[in-house]
Structure 1
Amino acid sequence: MGGGAGLIRTPDQRLRVFVSSTLQELAPERRVIREVIERLALSPVMFELGARPHPPRSLYRAYLEQSDIFIGVYWESYGWVAPGEEVSGLEDEYNLAPDVPMLIYVKRSEQRNGRLDSLLRRIREDDRASYVAFDDAEQLGPLLTSDLATLLAERFDESSRRRPVPAHVVAGVSLSEILDPPRPLTRLIGRERDMQAVVRLLTTDGRRLVTLTGPGGIGKTRLALAAARDLEASFPDGIAFVDLAPLRDPRLVISAIANALGIRDTGEAPLRAKVTQALLHRQVLLLLDNVEQVVGAAADLSALLNASSVSILATSRVLLRIDGEQSVPLAPLASSAAVQLFLERARAVKPEFELTDDNAADVTAIVTALDNVPLALELAAARLRVLTPKVLLERLERALPLLVDGARDRPERQRTLRAAIDWSAQLLSNPERDLFLRMSVFRNGFSLDAAEWMCERSDAGSAVDLLGGLVESSLLQEQDRESRSWFSMLATVREYARDELESAGDLPKCRQRHAEFFSALAARAEPHLTSAGQSAWIARLNDEFEDIRAAADYYLAAGQHEAFADLVWPLYWFLWSTGRMREAEAWIARLTEVEDQLSDRTRSRAKLFNVGMAILEGPDPSRIPELEDCIAYFQREHDLPGEFLSQIAIGLLELMRGSSRLDIADRHLQCAREIAETLESPFLTSMALHIAGQVFLARGDARGAVEIFEASLQAAKDSGEVLSESAALFQLGWAMLLQGENVSASEFFVQQMRISSTVGHQQGIANGLDGMFAVAVAVGDFERAGRLLGAADEVRERKGLLPPAMLPYHQRVLAQVEGSPASEEFQIAREAGRHVDLAEVIEQALVSDRSSS
């Protein structure tokens, strides 16, 4: 499909569906469309919050270029025609739509605008478009669901080309891979030579560390993102975007890189070693943005460069001072480019704005006054919505000299930029400025409900109105993330606002309020993390994790240990499923340093967490008394979730200790099942049954294990939590295989692979490939077995996943084939499997294997 995205996508890079319609008259239909798109795990591209009659042309052009599917919904109105334009935004969106599938829905009417009728006649003749009439929003929902499902089954995205999916392969195979750089919504202006220099250094000249330097607002990030697009072909294994602006601790840089590469910190090996191994022989470019935040990580980055094949493009106000570093300093724009940039940004807020003989001198003077600094130009251009160039210049001439003179401790260009931000901030209303400063406590972006929370009980204006003013002033940027409006602040602007907040003495109060928001968010998220809403909540918490981390750090530093526990404990399943348990373990370790200050509840939770992490290292019987203490406490307090986890932990620990402890494991797992039933939690029931089934396998009772795993699968389906469903299918596959039922085993592994590949669960993909490997061995297809296992090896190495040695039956199958006459053929195929296209291997694995019969 379109958009230039590859087949392998990270969870935040789902297929984008652009929705074109008028806003008000089709509001019910737009709500239905958004619900359908999100239910199918796609990403809607829509204009809602603060939408004007139609968004600026440059904005929706950029959104269209990045979209994979176009949906047009039309009724009676043709839409607004902007001054100087010949067609409405509605028709313009259709005209600009790239070569992507088009689904067109027309609501029946006898009063349709004539120009809209003409557009619809043209659309009906477009062989790209599927054209359907409907009566109301209720009828539209099923139509759209069916059409999108059919479309996904017919089309498959690979690199920059399309090819159909075989009919027997599930639609929507999606692998979690590296975090791609964001696609800028505006074109790069005036940086052609700098761009050529960056590309040449990283390709022709073979440099492996290039650092773009310059003051804040000079355009380092924008240039780096543009260069990344030109460098895609030179780095076939991908370009990973790592935003370091939210970080304060250099020790977290490797973790941020791992996250961008999709590597989970599962705790069984040092994360640095996993990252190095994943990058060892791969042509990957790391785009590290805002490195000056964590320049103390230079030694770690140097070690990574020396131990792998990775290249780095960094943006920073200061050099890293690493051997081999090549600096590309950015100066302000040339005068002609600065004027061009100012004009383009002015037209984004005022489409009819033109450079004329009457205003040319004022525009030139504005650009000169702002030293040709891109961010300062953008901030000023935003004011042309309400000011003429002449009035804007007069205000700048009064404000800038005073403001610059008041900040002599900063470099000249930085003083000019800070003055421009200050000037723009001073033009805000008092409620807008108050919210602007408060939002600087967020390390990353923030959602609308976060802004409303930080408004507290202000009656000076709603959060939506205040945010609209900040967006119009270019002090905030807004975008859609799934169904949420998401706001972000440039690092330079955030630095200014945070300084102002601290000077006013309001920083501590706002940090407390910020932390309390994320405590409330964690409590809201907890029940959804083990239900059908899990995917949406994990996506949201991933977006906001840097601020969750900031809230945790704040609570610990402030000695608010109970508040810290109330923040982290509800996020247990999120931290576990996203590979963040090691960081959480470090947080908990800080709690144990003040154990005598903790309540019994927090002390028991911390103890349970620590023992759970210890189990990853292997069975340690000495930890059982601690778990028994936890059970006793949770029983006294009637804390059923805490008791459930404690019973599960002991059951798992006893299972790991060997056959002599299986009866004890069973007793604890039975207690866990009873608690899950009391809590009426299908997710917890599925988990308890999942481990109980492994006890049956450890006893050699594969038939009994099948019954338990089938019950676990049904409970998982009842919960709507797909990873539990995937895990149950995987265990069912092995249980069937151990009984010699190869066809059934293959079917279960295929179902498990479909779920894992669709949601991008790398551990599940690797496990599924292992299962398919075992089926191939069972039917004597050693060449296919080797290819599948080699692909599984590759997934594990890239993502630092748990080794298959965790499964004893896997090891038995591997020993069988390595000791057979086909060992050499198998090893050759296994090595080849490490180098084939992973998507193709998965497609082939998802095809029912006729030979298994």
Structure 2
Amino acid sequence: MTVKFLGDFKIQVDQQEISGLSTLKSKALLAYLLMEGKKAQARSTLAAIFWPDAPEQTALHNLRQALMVIKKAFDQTGCTEELFLSSREAITLNPTLTIEVDALTFAQGMEELFRWMDGPPRRGFPIRRLQSLIDLYQGEFLPHLSLPDTNDFDDWVVLNRESLNRQAIQGLSWLLQYHENRGEWHLACPVAQKLIRFAPWDEQSHFRFIQCLLALSHNSAASAHYQTAVQYFRNELQVEPGHFLNVAKRSIEKATASAPAASSFQTAALPHFPTAFIGRARELDTLEAWIADPHCQIITLTGPGGSGKTRLAAFLAAQQVSLFQDGVYFASLANCSGIQQISASILQALGTLTEQNQDALEELLAWAEQRHALLVLDNVDDTSAAAAFAARLLERSPRLVLLFTAYSRLDLLGEKVFTLAGLSLETDPCQEAPPEAIQLYLSHLQPESLPEIRSTEFLAKVETICQLVEGMPLAIALAAGQTRCMSATDLVAELSHNLDVLRTSSANLPDRHRSIQASFENAWSHLSPQRQSFLARLTLFRAPFTAAAAEAICAIRSGDLRALAGESLLTWDTTERYRFHRTIWQYAREKDVLPATAKIALQQKYAEWFANRVLEFLSDHELAHFAAMLAQIEAELEDALRSLYWLIEQRDWARVKPMILALFRYYEARGKYRAGSAAMSEIAEACGKMENGLAAQVMASSRAALLALRIQQFTSAARWIEFAAAQATAQNWHEEEAFCLNVLATQAMATHSAGAGEKYALQALACARQYAVEEEEAHALYTLGNSRINKGELSQAEADLLECKHICQERKSWRKLMRVLNSLADAACYRSDRQAALDCYFQALEIAEGTQNPYSQALIVNNIGTVYMELQDYPAAQEYLTHSIELCQQVYDREGEAVALANLGEIALWQGERDQAVELCRRALQISLEAGSNWGEMSARIILAQTYREQAEMAKARAELTPLLQMSVASDSLNFFYRALVEAAEWLVQTGRPDGVAVLLA
């Protein structure tokens, strides 16, 4: 929630503005509680503040009414959490809510900055923080909110208003001084204007604004403002112009008579760059705070080559110029290998290197003693020498701040280290600008020669390019440079393959920045041969890997991993995994530092390690461990699949087949049906090319088919299961035959052939029982149970499902147990035992949440919503159905979304909101037709038919009933068929044809 009280009264929840505060008292009460409500506010105190003249009981009643108005206003935004925690005695803001109140943010931020504002800065200041706070202050506190009948509230507003205004004036004055000291008059002018707006009575503010105008040679504007200021003081304040305005007058006269004076501001000798600096807002805020911290003396910026360390350090230094008493200095330490060379390079940058052959370190120590200065020391090659140098320098010069850029930290006590990653690809919801990485890419292009630069398609390609290089600034700049000679589409295709295209011949770039490979080679050259070998071996991993995997496979200890991460060649996730940046992985992999035999042995270890990791998944059946095992496979999936393909090439079928089963179980449990069907079909194809690979090919094909059926890819599923079933039968692979029969049953049910589905399920059940395949026995019982529910044979259906449930519990088959619980709940609903249904649904939901399967969660949550509909608990029903829609949208489950929308439409109909019912069901019908969902279509049409009939739109009602009856008959959907019959009978009666009811029922 965002709250704007400075210059306005505006409250937004998820970017939706609160608009239902119908009374002035409710607005005032809400403002008071948002400002003061972190501490419990007594109801009696609130009543006395806002209704001081009313009897206590009346005031407390008014308070309850105002709180109800506030709650209703928030409910209208869809906010489901309580804003306040209330008791009989007190009211408190809900501490679990994230509420950003601009007035509180401004006041607290300014208080933090005031400790640096006592006098002129001696060593640094978080100037960006001050600028952002000043931008936040858009006007006085609650400018149009006043309660004439309560002095206490108005006094509270005035006190806050004056306090915030005082902070704003002090901050503006300090920011204006910053720009004045730097001679940035074009930036100083708007600050001075804002200062006058909030302190028009301050003569010095007018003087400073006039000085800004004169510095910009705006003499006429300066003279005009002087006249306006004089009139204000004489007419409004009844005083004559004082010292500052008299000085301003003389300055105007002097400026009119002579040319403007040159600026006396001396800029630091910082490197210049041919392109604009983009992004790094979060990094700059952190680094500025460190620089201003009196306890921080050493800061090291680390990151891989091309991450923008030098650019960021130079930009940060430029922002701090004028904020250090004795200056800001920049020196490159490239190729400096000892303390004396480092000292000499710095002295040269300072311009104080003497001709005498004296000790450079001693000369630098003499210069630095007692100075408050910032030294930016870029491109450290020798970190041990740099660390020894820093220790010596700061021992003699404790007021210096040293900012290093290096591949690794210096390992000094008190050193603060900031490791740069790529530029952000996340959109800031508070900003309209695109993400930082995309901004940088676009800044390197010429819009005049690229008319498509703002098109959605082009920006999508740019986003993909930035993702492929993981936001690395140098890679983004080099990629943008290629736009002159190749299309964005071709560039995406090239970068998807490798990064060699990222190069330039620009003469104004150092050699190490003319290609990504050159940047990597620079880092590689700083590694010892042992570390080079370690890095090359680790490129075997494609996904983030653990220290245990690195040691078991590559014989690399955790200390060496930490060292490589410290040199910005690996990224550590701060918990257990390391990963490569893509640019480093590609070029490290190309280094041929291992003999061929060692590579084969390493590959064998790699495949065996990940095969064993995946097979652990099949052996551990405890639900408490199930989610963790799923997360483990998800994190290592890319390496697991590569291991599987290597084992297929080695024809190690004893490992391949159980890996196929384990990976199928992962894809099904996670609800990753699309990715799973694609992976299984590719595995099947690979197995089919190898000698003796038919059994594994059949296993992968049948599982690809089942996963494809889950997402209604019927054509592909039919092709895969037809092949698998034929081969399993021909080869007498009975366990696989039972699985294939179950898939054929699922296929028949999904394509509305209930009779065929039941036939295949009975065959699967017989096969599974004959050959003692319990898992497929449970699968067949589940299919039969659902088929019999649809036919209305509830007793037999529940018997099948309970037997299935027993097998699943014994085997701890959580996925199947979840689904059978869901079906048992459906059966309970048909028996009108809604409490039993809810019990089953909530048990199933617990498993779905434990396995982190959003598809199943969406289905079960929708079903829970329908039970609450039957119980006429509409708020609970709407809550669960809305959550189901959110889950469906996350996983693109169009059918589930349509069914949930139709259910919400039915609630709207029951509540008499027919227009809303039509709107919801039309959306459901559109989605169903696009997705080819018969279930969603029937769910929408039955509600539309009833709604149109109740609105006496009989032709529209008939247009829905006709296809509904046809579809329900064709798909054996008896529930929809009976509902359609009842609705058709109602339609006949309402249209004056009651005789037709008998014909219809006959």
Q: Could you tell me the TM-score, scaled by structure 1's length?
A: 0.46
Q: Could you tell me the TM-score, scaled by structure 2's length?
A: 0.40
> By percentage of residues, which structure has more helix?
2
- Determine which structure has more spread, i.e. the larger CA radius of gyration: 2
